[in-house]
Amino acid sequence: MRSATRETSFIHAISSAGVMYTITKNCSMGDFESCGCDESKNGKTGGHGWIWGGCSDNVEFGERISKLFVDSLEKGKDARALMNLHNNRAGRLAVRATMKRTCKCHGISGSCSIQTCWLQLADFREMGDYLKAKYDRALKIEMDKRRLRTGNRAKGRWAPTEAFLPSAEAELIFLEESPDYCTRNSSLGIYGTDGRECQQNSRNASRWERRSCGRLCTECGLQVKERRTETISSCNCKFQWCCTVKCDQCRHVTMSNHVQTMLLRIREDERKKFLSRFLKIQPSPTLCSSRKTNFNFTQ
Protein backbone atom coordinates (compact mmCIF):
# COMPACT_ATOMS: atom_id res chain seq x y z
CA MET A 1 0.00 0.00 0.00
CA ARG A 2 1.32 3.41 -0.99
CA SER A 3 -0.47 5.41 1.68
CA ALA A 4 0.59 5.76 5.32
CA THR A 5 -2.88 5.36 6.87
CA ARG A 6 -3.93 3.39 9.92
CA GLU A 7 -5.02 0.57 7.58
CA THR A 8 -1.46 0.35 6.28
CA SER A 9 -0.19 0.19 9.85
CA PHE A 10 -2.53 -2.73 10.60
CA ILE A 11 -1.47 -4.64 7.48
CA HIS A 12 2.22 -4.33 8.36
CA ALA A 13 1.61 -5.33 11.97
CA ILE A 14 -0.50 -8.39 11.29
CA SER A 15 1.75 -9.52 8.41
CA SER A 16 4.82 -9.33 10.64
CA ALA A 17 2.93 -11.09 13.44
CA GLY A 18 1.77 -13.79 11.02
CA VAL A 19 5.31 -14.59 9.90
CA MET A 20 6.53 -14.75 13.50
CA TYR A 21 3.52 -16.85 14.55
CA THR A 22 4.02 -19.41 11.77
CA ILE A 23 7.76 -19.76 12.30
CA THR A 24 7.33 -20.13 16.06
CA LYS A 25 4.59 -22.75 15.62
CA ASN A 26 6.62 -24.78 13.14
CA CYS A 27 9.68 -24.54 15.36
CA SER A 28 7.84 -26.03 18.35
CA MET A 29 6.43 -28.81 16.15
CA GLY A 30 9.95 -29.85 15.15
CA ASP A 31 9.70 -28.81 11.51
CA PHE A 32 13.11 -27.08 11.65
CA GLU A 33 16.36 -28.82 12.50
CA SER A 34 17.88 -25.66 13.96
CA CYS A 35 15.30 -25.05 16.70
CA GLY A 36 12.80 -26.69 18.99
CA CYS A 37 10.94 -25.98 22.21
CA ASP A 38 12.06 -23.14 24.46
CA GLU A 39 13.31 -24.94 27.56
CA SER A 40 15.39 -22.06 28.95
CA LYS A 41 13.12 -21.67 32.01
CA ASN A 42 12.45 -25.33 32.71
CA GLY A 43 12.95 -26.31 36.35
CA LYS A 44 12.72 -22.75 37.64
CA THR A 45 10.00 -21.65 40.04
CA GLY A 46 7.45 -19.52 38.26
CA GLY A 47 5.17 -18.72 41.17
CA HIS A 48 3.41 -20.19 44.19
CA GLY A 49 2.69 -23.85 43.50
CA TRP A 50 4.05 -24.08 39.98
CA ILE A 51 7.32 -24.43 38.08
CA TRP A 52 8.35 -23.97 34.48
CA GLY A 53 8.47 -27.13 32.35
CA GLY A 54 7.05 -28.75 29.26
CA CYS A 55 7.49 -27.37 25.74
CA SER A 56 7.13 -23.61 25.56
CA ASP A 57 6.75 -22.09 22.10
CA ASN A 58 10.07 -20.65 20.97
CA VAL A 59 9.10 -17.03 20.32
CA GLU A 60 12.73 -15.88 20.51
CA PHE A 61 13.56 -17.84 17.37
CA GLY A 62 10.33 -16.84 15.62
CA GLU A 63 10.86 -13.17 16.40
CA ARG A 64 14.48 -13.19 15.24
CA ILE A 65 13.73 -14.80 11.88
CA SER A 66 10.62 -12.69 11.33
CA LYS A 67 12.60 -9.50 11.98
CA LEU A 68 15.34 -10.53 9.53
CA PHE A 69 12.85 -11.41 6.81
CA VAL A 70 10.10 -8.78 7.15
CA ASP A 71 12.21 -5.75 8.08
CA SER A 72 14.68 -6.43 5.26
CA LEU A 73 11.88 -5.72 2.77
CA GLU A 74 11.81 -2.07 3.90
CA LYS A 75 14.41 -0.27 1.78
CA GLY A 76 13.44 3.37 2.37
CA LYS A 77 14.86 5.86 4.85
CA ASP A 78 11.92 8.26 5.09
CA ALA A 79 9.07 8.69 7.55
CA ARG A 80 6.99 6.05 5.80
CA ALA A 81 9.79 3.48 6.16
CA LEU A 82 10.16 4.28 9.86
CA MET A 83 6.41 3.91 10.31
CA ASN A 84 6.44 0.49 8.63
CA LEU A 85 9.37 -0.74 10.74
CA HIS A 86 7.65 0.46 13.91
CA ASN A 87 4.40 -1.34 13.03
CA ASN A 88 6.32 -4.49 12.07
CA ARG A 89 7.73 -4.53 15.59
CA ALA A 90 4.34 -3.78 17.15
CA GLY A 91 3.02 -6.88 15.38
CA ARG A 92 5.78 -9.04 16.83
CA LEU A 93 5.15 -7.62 20.29
CA ALA A 94 1.48 -8.57 19.88
CA VAL A 95 2.47 -12.22 19.49
CA ARG A 96 4.33 -12.08 22.80
CA ALA A 97 1.56 -10.13 24.55
CA THR A 98 -1.13 -12.68 23.70
CA MET A 99 0.79 -15.81 24.73
CA LYS A 100 -0.94 -17.97 27.33
CA ARG A 101 0.38 -20.01 30.22
CA THR A 102 -0.77 -23.64 30.10
CA CYS A 103 -0.37 -25.88 33.14
CA LYS A 104 -0.56 -29.54 34.07
CA CYS A 105 -1.30 -30.75 37.59
CA HIS A 106 0.90 -33.16 39.55
CA GLY A 107 0.27 -34.74 42.94
CA ILE A 108 -1.10 -37.76 44.76
CA SER A 109 -4.60 -38.75 43.61
CA GLY A 110 -4.93 -35.66 41.49
CA SER A 111 -4.38 -33.28 44.40
CA CYS A 112 -2.59 -30.83 42.10
CA SER A 113 -0.11 -29.92 44.82
CA ILE A 114 2.23 -28.59 42.17
CA GLN A 115 1.82 -27.59 38.53
CA THR A 116 4.18 -27.65 35.58
CA CYS A 117 3.53 -24.74 33.21
CA TRP A 118 4.71 -23.59 29.79
CA LEU A 119 3.92 -20.74 27.39
CA GLN A 120 1.87 -21.31 24.26
CA LEU A 121 0.86 -19.09 21.38
CA ALA A 122 -2.72 -17.87 21.55
CA ASP A 123 -5.13 -18.63 18.74
CA PHE A 124 -4.33 -16.40 15.74
CA ARG A 125 -7.86 -14.98 15.81
CA GLU A 126 -7.28 -13.79 19.37
CA MET A 127 -4.03 -12.14 18.32
CA GLY A 128 -5.85 -10.55 15.37
CA ASP A 129 -8.49 -9.14 17.71
CA TYR A 130 -5.70 -7.75 19.88
CA LEU A 131 -4.20 -5.92 16.89
CA LYS A 132 -7.65 -4.76 15.77
CA ALA A 133 -8.03 -3.03 19.14
CA LYS A 134 -4.61 -1.42 18.55
CA TYR A 135 -5.84 -0.31 15.11
CA ASP A 136 -8.91 1.35 16.63
CA ARG A 137 -6.73 3.50 18.91
CA ALA A 138 -3.75 3.92 16.55
CA LEU A 139 -1.69 7.09 17.03
CA LYS A 140 -1.20 9.70 14.33
CA ILE A 141 2.41 10.90 14.29
CA GLU A 142 3.70 14.24 13.02
CA MET A 143 7.31 13.77 11.95
CA ASP A 144 9.98 16.46 12.37
CA LYS A 145 11.23 16.73 8.78
CA ARG A 146 14.41 18.59 9.76
CA ARG A 147 15.35 15.81 12.18
CA LEU A 148 14.42 13.26 9.54
CA ARG A 149 16.79 14.77 6.95
CA THR A 150 19.58 14.77 9.53
CA GLY A 151 18.89 11.13 10.26
CA ASN A 152 19.10 10.25 6.56
CA ARG A 153 22.60 11.70 6.30
CA ALA A 154 23.86 9.60 9.18
CA LYS A 155 25.48 6.20 8.82
CA GLY A 156 22.14 4.51 8.70
CA ARG A 157 18.49 5.11 9.40
CA TRP A 158 17.27 5.32 12.97
CA ALA A 159 15.67 2.48 14.76
CA PRO A 160 11.90 3.10 15.10
CA THR A 161 12.25 3.39 18.89
CA GLU A 162 14.57 6.38 18.37
CA ALA A 163 12.10 8.09 16.02
CA PHE A 164 8.97 7.67 18.16
CA LEU A 165 8.10 7.77 21.83
CA PRO A 166 9.34 4.64 23.67
CA SER A 167 5.96 4.41 25.40
CA ALA A 168 4.33 3.88 21.99
CA GLU A 169 6.48 0.93 20.90
CA ALA A 170 3.60 -1.53 21.15
CA GLU A 171 1.05 0.84 19.57
CA LEU A 172 0.22 1.14 15.88
CA ILE A 173 1.10 4.49 14.33
CA PHE A 174 0.16 6.21 11.07
CA LEU A 175 1.02 9.45 9.26
CA GLU A 176 -2.02 10.16 7.05
CA GLU A 177 -5.77 10.18 7.60
CA SER A 178 -7.73 7.41 5.89
CA PRO A 179 -9.80 8.13 2.77
CA ASP A 180 -13.57 7.60 2.67
CA TYR A 181 -13.99 3.86 2.15
CA CYS A 182 -17.78 4.17 1.89
CA THR A 183 -17.66 5.97 -1.45
CA ARG A 184 -16.33 4.40 -4.65
CA ASN A 185 -13.02 5.91 -5.76
CA SER A 186 -11.44 4.20 -8.76
CA SER A 187 -8.24 6.23 -8.61
CA LEU A 188 -7.54 4.91 -5.09
CA GLY A 189 -8.84 1.41 -5.79
CA ILE A 190 -11.75 1.83 -3.34
CA TYR A 191 -14.92 -0.01 -4.39
CA GLY A 192 -17.19 1.49 -1.73
CA THR A 193 -19.94 -0.36 0.13
CA ASP A 194 -22.88 0.44 -2.14
CA GLY A 195 -24.18 -2.89 -3.47
CA ARG A 196 -22.45 -5.09 -0.89
CA GLU A 197 -24.16 -8.09 0.65
CA CYS A 198 -24.27 -8.32 4.43
CA GLN A 199 -25.48 -10.82 7.04
CA GLN A 200 -28.03 -9.66 9.58
CA ASN A 201 -30.09 -12.52 11.01
CA SER A 202 -28.22 -15.63 9.91
CA ARG A 203 -28.19 -18.34 12.60
CA ASN A 204 -24.79 -19.67 11.60
CA ALA A 205 -23.15 -16.25 11.36
CA SER A 206 -20.67 -15.13 13.99
CA ARG A 207 -21.23 -12.02 16.08
CA TRP A 208 -18.78 -10.15 13.87
CA GLU A 209 -20.59 -11.27 10.69
CA ARG A 210 -23.99 -10.26 12.08
CA ARG A 211 -22.61 -6.76 12.56
CA SER A 212 -21.61 -6.56 8.89
CA CYS A 213 -24.82 -4.79 7.86
CA GLY A 214 -24.16 -2.06 10.40
CA ARG A 215 -20.53 -1.68 9.37
CA LEU A 216 -21.13 -1.73 5.62
CA CYS A 217 -24.43 0.11 5.51
CA THR A 218 -25.63 2.32 8.32
CA GLU A 219 -22.16 3.60 9.18
CA CYS A 220 -21.86 4.75 5.56
CA GLY A 221 -25.28 6.40 5.49
CA LEU A 222 -26.90 3.53 3.57
CA GLN A 223 -29.95 1.41 4.30
CA VAL A 224 -30.41 -2.35 4.45
CA LYS A 225 -32.81 -3.93 1.99
CA GLU A 226 -33.91 -7.54 1.80
CA ARG A 227 -33.71 -9.39 -1.51
CA ARG A 228 -35.72 -12.47 -2.43
CA THR A 229 -33.98 -14.77 -4.91
CA GLU A 230 -35.73 -17.71 -6.56
CA THR A 231 -33.83 -20.48 -8.35
CA ILE A 232 -34.90 -23.70 -10.06
CA SER A 233 -32.65 -26.73 -10.00
CA SER A 234 -32.83 -30.47 -10.53
CA CYS A 235 -33.69 -32.60 -7.50
CA ASN A 236 -34.93 -36.06 -6.48
CA CYS A 237 -32.97 -37.60 -9.35
CA LYS A 238 -33.50 -41.32 -10.04
CA PHE A 239 -31.73 -43.73 -12.33
CA GLN A 240 -34.03 -45.67 -14.65
CA TRP A 241 -33.02 -48.84 -16.47
CA CYS A 242 -31.61 -48.41 -18.92
CA CYS A 243 -30.06 -45.84 -19.14
CA THR A 244 -31.52 -42.50 -18.15
CA VAL A 245 -31.69 -40.28 -15.12
CA LYS A 246 -34.95 -38.47 -14.42
CA CYS A 247 -35.16 -35.51 -12.04
CA ASP A 248 -37.81 -33.25 -10.63
CA GLN A 249 -37.53 -29.49 -10.91
CA CYS A 250 -37.40 -27.92 -7.46
CA ARG A 251 -37.87 -24.27 -6.64
CA HIS A 252 -35.62 -22.71 -3.98
CA VAL A 253 -36.20 -19.33 -2.39
CA THR A 254 -33.40 -17.58 -0.52
CA MET A 255 -33.45 -14.27 1.33
CA SER A 256 -30.39 -12.08 1.67
CA ASN A 257 -29.59 -8.62 2.97
CA HIS A 258 -27.88 -5.89 0.99
CA VAL A 259 -27.34 -2.21 1.39
CA GLN A 260 -28.26 0.60 -0.96
CA THR A 261 -28.09 4.37 -1.11
CA MET A 262 -30.83 6.01 0.94
CA LEU A 263 -33.44 7.46 -1.38
CA LEU A 264 -34.53 10.25 0.90
CA ARG A 265 -31.89 11.97 3.02
CA ILE A 266 -34.24 13.47 5.57
CA ARG A 267 -34.84 12.68 9.20
CA GLU A 268 -35.92 9.08 9.81
CA ASP A 269 -39.26 9.95 11.39
CA GLU A 270 -40.18 12.30 8.56
CA ARG A 271 -39.10 9.73 5.98
CA LYS A 272 -41.31 7.03 7.48
CA LYS A 273 -44.28 9.37 7.71
CA PHE A 274 -43.80 10.49 4.13
CA LEU A 275 -43.51 6.96 2.75
CA SER A 276 -46.51 5.66 4.70
CA ARG A 277 -48.74 8.40 3.28
CA PHE A 278 -47.70 8.62 -0.33
CA LEU A 279 -45.58 5.68 -1.40
CA LYS A 280 -45.72 1.95 -1.46
CA ILE A 281 -42.25 0.55 -2.08
CA GLN A 282 -41.98 -2.76 -3.91
CA PRO A 283 -39.40 -5.19 -2.44
CA SER A 284 -36.08 -4.92 -4.23
CA PRO A 285 -33.02 -7.19 -4.35
CA THR A 286 -30.91 -7.04 -1.21
CA LEU A 287 -27.51 -5.77 -2.16
CA CYS A 288 -25.99 -2.47 -1.13
CA SER A 289 -27.30 -1.27 -4.47
CA SER A 290 -27.85 2.19 -5.83
CA ARG A 291 -30.24 0.85 -8.46
CA LYS A 292 -33.48 2.80 -8.72
CA THR A 293 -36.43 1.42 -6.75
CA ASN A 294 -39.81 1.16 -8.44
CA PHE A 295 -42.57 3.12 -6.75
CA ASN A 296 -46.32 2.56 -6.95
CA PHE A 297 -48.22 5.72 -6.15
CA THR A 298 -51.48 5.09 -4.33
CA GLN A 299 -54.56 7.23 -4.59
* Residues 112 and 238 both lie in one domain: no
* Residues 34 and 162 both lie in one domain: yes
Is a pLDDT exceeding 80 seen at residue 225? no
The whole-number average pLDDT for the span 231-244 is: 88
* Residues 232 and 264 both lie in one domain: yes
Is a pLDDT exceeding 60 seen at residue 95? yes
Our count of domains for the chain comes to 2
N- to C-terminal Cα separation, the chain: 55
* Residues 165 and 220 both lie in one domain: no
Alpha carbon distance 92, 234 (integer Å): 52
Min mean pLDDT across 111-115, 247-251, 268-272 is at: 268-272
DSSP for residue 283: P
> Using 50, 70 and 90 to split pLDDT, how confident is the model at 295?
very low
Alpha carbon distance 144, 164 (integer Å): 11
Residue 114 within a domain:
yes
> Following DSSP, what letter does each residue of 182-220 receive, concatenated?
SS-BGGGTB--STT-EE-SS-TTS-HHHHTHHHHHTGGG
Which pLDDT value is given to residue 90? 94
Alpha carbon distance 257, 201 (integer Å): 9
* Residues 266 and 228 both lie in one domain: yes
Alpha carbon distance 28, 58 (integer Å): 6
Max distance between CA atoms of the chain, in angstroms, equals: 87
* Residues 77 and 164 both lie in one domain: yes
* Residues 165 and 125 both lie in one domain: yes
Which pLDDT value is given to residue 17? 95
Residue 224 within a domain:
yes
* Residues 165 and 207 both lie in one domain: no
- CATH number for 255: 3.30.2460.20
Alpha carbon distance 222, 226 (integer Å): 13
Alpha carbon distance 299, 278 (integer Å): 8
Which pLDDT value is given to residue 285? 36
Handedness of CA 186, 187, 189, 194 (dihedral sign): negative
Residue 40 within a domain:
yes
Residue 192 within a domain:
no
The answer to whether 53 and 105 have CB atoms below 8 angstroms apart is no
Alpha carbon distance 143, 131 (integer Å): 23
* Residues 105 and 40 both lie in one domain: yes
> Using 50, 70 and 90 to split pLDDT, how confident is the model at 294?
very low
Which pLDDT value is given to residue 261? 59
Q: Rounded to 5 degrees, what angle do the CA atoms 144, 81, 167 make?
A: 60
* Residues 161 and 204 both lie in one domain: no
Nearest to 66 by CA among 42, 40, 96, 36: 96
Domain-terminating residue out of 143, 174, 205? 174
Average pLDDT of the chain is 77
Beta strands in the chain (DSSP E): 45-47, 50-52, 100-106, 114-120, 139-140, 173-174, 197-198, 222-240, 244-261, 279-281, 295-297
The answer to whether 259 and 213 have CB atoms below 8 angstroms apart is yes
CA 121 to chain centroid: 18
Residue 182 within a domain:
no
Residue 207 within a domain:
yes
Residue 184 within a domain:
no
Min mean pLDDT across 11-25, 121-135, 279-293 is at: 279-293
* Residues 208 and 130 both lie in one domain: no
Which pLDDT value is given to residue 39? 87
DSSP for residue 40: T
The whole-number average pLDDT for the span 257-278 is: 49
Residue 187 within a domain:
no
Q: What is the per-residue pLDDT across 138-165, written as a single tens digit (0 to 9) for each?
A: 999 876 654 444 344 334 445 555 555 5
Whole-model pTM: value is: 0.67
Q: What is the per-residue pLDDT across 52-86, written as a single tens digit (0 to 9) for each?
A: 998 899 999 999 999 999 998 888 778 888 899 99
The partner residues of 185 in beta bridges, in order of sequence, read: 190
The range of the structural domain enclosing residue 239 comes to 197-297
The answer to whether 58 and 24 have CB atoms below 8 angstroms apart is yes
> Using 50, 70 and 90 to split pLDDT, how confident is the model at 166?
low
Alpha carbon distance 263, 282 (integer Å): 14
Q: What is the per-residue pLDDT across 112-142, written as a single tens digit (0 to 9) for each?
A: 788 899 999 999 999 999 999 999 999 998 7
* Residues 33 and 125 both lie in one domain: yes
Q: What is the per-residue pLDDT across 197-219, written as a single tens digit (0 to 9) for each?
A: 777 666 676 777 667 777 777 67
